[in-house]
Amino acid sequence: MSNAKELREKLMMKERKGAATFSPETLKEADDFAAGYKTFLDNARTEREAVAYVKKLAEDNGFVPFEQDKQYNPGDRIYIINREKAIGLAVIGKNGTANGVRLAIAHIDSPRIDLKPNPLYQDGGLGLLKSHYYGGIKKYQWTTVPLALHGRVVKLDGTTVDIRLGENDDEECFIITDLLPHLDKEDKPVRKAIDPENMNILIGSYPFDDSDEKDLIALNIMKLLNDRYGITEDDFLSAELNFCPAYKTRDIGFDRSMIGGYGHDDKCCAYPSVMAAIDTKVPDCTCITYLTDKEETGSDGNTGMQSDFLRYFIYDLAKADGNEGYRVLSKSKCLSADVNAAFDPSYASAYEQKNCSYVNEGVVISKYTGHGGKYDTSDASAEFMGEIRAMLERDGVKWQIGELGKVDVGGGGTIAKYVANMNVDVVDLGVAVLNMHAPMEVISKPDLYMAYKAFYGLFN
Ligand code: MN
Ligand code: MN
C-alpha cells in the first residue's frame, strides 16, 4: 500500500458508496421494516388518522393512557393525546426524569388540500369545492391527481362524522382540473402557473332533477352527502376536510429499493420513532416519542410544537418523580426527527454536493436548517453533534450530514428550534426524501431503517 493510500484511509472521509455498504442481512431487515411502514402510511394520511393508528399500535404493545399524579415505575408504558392531532408515547426509565428525558419528535401533518369554510358551488355544469392549500406545495403538482377526502364534520347537535372516502379502488375519488396545453401557451414562472383560487375540486355533474330551481348540481351533491353522512351545507362551517393524494404506497425501482408514497414528510420519521419507543423495554432515562401537528404551517396553534402541551406532559412526569420540570427539560436531549432533501441529479444545481444528503447514505443529520445567514434555526452545538455522532457510530447506524440546498437558494425549518427554546439539546435527524412535498414522495428502505436504529439508540 502506498503512503498516500494509507494516509488517506487514516485521515480522510470515506467516499460515498450508497447502498453497497449495507449487508444483505441489513437490506432484508430494512425491507421487513418497510412493510410495516407502508401499511402505516396508507392508513395515516392526516394527523388525526396517524394519531388513531399510533394509539392502536401503542395499545397493542402495552401502552396505557397517562394519568396525572400517578406514580410510574421503570418500564411502564404510557401515551397521551392532544386533541386527536398529536400523540406522545413514553417508556419510564430506571432513573425516571432525574437525568432529563430522551425525546424523538416527528410531525404527522403533511402538505395537502384543505377546504375553505364555505366551499360548495356549481359552475359550467360542474359541482365544485373551493379549496385552500395547506403547507408548501408546488401547486401544479396537485392538479390532475386522484384525491381522497379525509376529515371530520361536527354537526350543530355536537355529534361528529368522520369521513374517509376515495382511498379504496371501488370508491369514487376527486380531482383538481388543469387547463389543456393547447390553450395554455403563456409563459409563467412555476410559482404562478396555478392560481390557488383555481384549485377547485371536481365533485359531481348530475342535477337533482330537471326543475327550474337553481344550483341543482350543488343540491344533488348535498343530498348525496346528507344521505350518506347526515350533514347539511351549514355543517361545512364546523368541519376539517382534507383532500390527500389517493395513491397507494408502492415500491419504486426494478430492485424495489425505494418507497413511493404520500406524506413521507414526516411520517417516515414518525413511524421509526414510534417503533423505537415500542421496542424499548426499560431504558435508563424516560424516553418519549412525540408526534406533533402543524409543522408544515409553522408549528403554531395548540397542536403544533410551539404549544405547551409536551412541556406540560414532561412537567407532569417530573412532578410524579419529585423533580422540577424545568430542571428535567434542561437535562433532556432530543432528536428532532424530520426529513431532508435528497440530492436529485436531475436538478443538481440546487444542491451543494459536498454537504447535501443522498439516498442510501443512511440517516441524515442536519446541524441547522433555516435560510440565508443561518436565520430561523437552532444550530446544534459541536458538543451535541459529537455526542450523537459517537452514539450512531457505537450502534453501527449509517449516517450522513445534510444541508438542505445551496446557501441562499431557499431554505426550510423544522421543530428543532422550538425544542431548543425549552433549553433542550437538540439536532435534526431524519430520512432523505426525493421530490419532497409532491403528491408522491420517494425515500429508500435502508435509510428508513437507519432512522429507526438511530431513535432506538437514543432511547437505549
Ligand atoms: Mn417535515
Ligand atoms: Mn415538510
Do 270 and 363 belong to one domain? Answer: yes
Does pLDDT of 26 surpass 70?
A: yes
Question: How many Å apart are CA 104 and CA 292, to the nearest integer?
Answer: 11
> Look-up: residue for cell 352527502?
225
Nine-digit cell at 17?
Answer: 458508496
Q: How many folded domains does the chain comprise? A: 2
> Look-up: residue for cell 437558494?
409
Cα(104) to centroid of ligand 1, in Å? 14
Cα(295) to centroid of ligand 1, in Å? 7
Q: Say if 257 falls within a structural domain.
A: no
Nine-digit cell at 14?
Answer: 470515506
Do 160 and 277 belong to one domain? Answer: no
Cα(109) to centroid of ligand 1, in Å? 8
Do 66 and 149 belong to one domain? Answer: no
Q: Say if 144 falls within a structural domain.
A: yes
**pLDDT for the residue 1:** 62
Do 219 and 290 belong to one domain? Answer: no
**pLDDT for the residue 24:** 97
Give per-residue pLDDT as tens, 221-253.
Answer: 999 999 999 999 999 999 999 999 999 999 999
Q: Say if 291 falls within a structural domain.
A: yes
Cα(71) to centroid of ligand 1, in Å? 35
Do 353 and 408 belong to one domain? Answer: yes
Q: How many residues does the chain have?
A: 460
Cα(405) to centroid of ligand 2, in Å? 14
Do 187 and 234 belong to one domain? Answer: yes
Q: Say if 251 falls within a structural domain.
A: no
Do 415 and 310 belong to one domain? Answer: yes
Cis amide bond preceding 266, omega within 30: yes
Angle, in degrees to the nearest 10, between helices 24-43 and 47-60: 120
Q: Say if 2 falls within a structural domain.
A: no
Does pLDDT of 215 surpass 90?
A: yes
Closest by Cα among 447, 37, 432 to 257:
447
Q: Say if 254 falls within a structural domain.
A: no
CATH of the domain at 379: 3.40.630.10
Q: Say if 75 falls within a structural domain.
A: yes
The arithmetic mean of pLDDT across residues 154-161, rounded, is: 97
Cα(441) to centroid of ligand 1, in Å? 12
pLDDT band, residue 323 (cuts 50/70/90): very high
Cα(437) to centroid of ligand 2, in Å? 6
Do 41 and 131 belong to one domain? Answer: no
Domain boundary among 219, 245, 271: 245
Whole-number percent of the chain with pLDDT over 70: 100
Domain with 231 in it: 112-245
Cα(24) to centroid of ligand 1, in Å? 30
Nine-digit cell at 363?
Answer: 440517516
Domain boundary among 220, 245, 270: 245
Do 299 and 221 belong to one domain? Answer: no
Domain boundary among 211, 245, 279: 245
The arithmetic mean of pLDDT across residues 327-353, rounded, is: 97
Cis amide bond preceding 284, omega within 30: no
**pLDDT for the residue 5:** 92
Q: Where are the alpha helices (DSSP H) in 342-438?
A: 382-394, 416-420
pLDDT band, residue 10 (cuts 50/70/90): very high
pTM of the full structure? 0.97
Cα(340) to centroid of ligand 1, in Å? 8
Do 280 and 405 belong to one domain? Answer: yes
Q: Say if 3 falls within a structural domain.
A: no
Whether 18 and 342 have beta carbons less than 8 Å apart is answered as no
Does pLDDT of 29 surpass 90?
A: yes
Do 449 and 392 belong to one domain? Answer: yes
Cα(136) to centroid of ligand 2, in Å? 7
**pLDDT for the residue 411:** 87
What rounded mean pLDDT belongs to the chain? 97
Closest by Cα among 368, 366, 363, 372 to 417:
368
**pLDDT for the residue 191:** 87
Cα(110) to centroid of ligand 2, in Å? 7
Do 55 and 186 belong to one domain? Answer: no
CATH of the domain at 217: 2.30.250.10
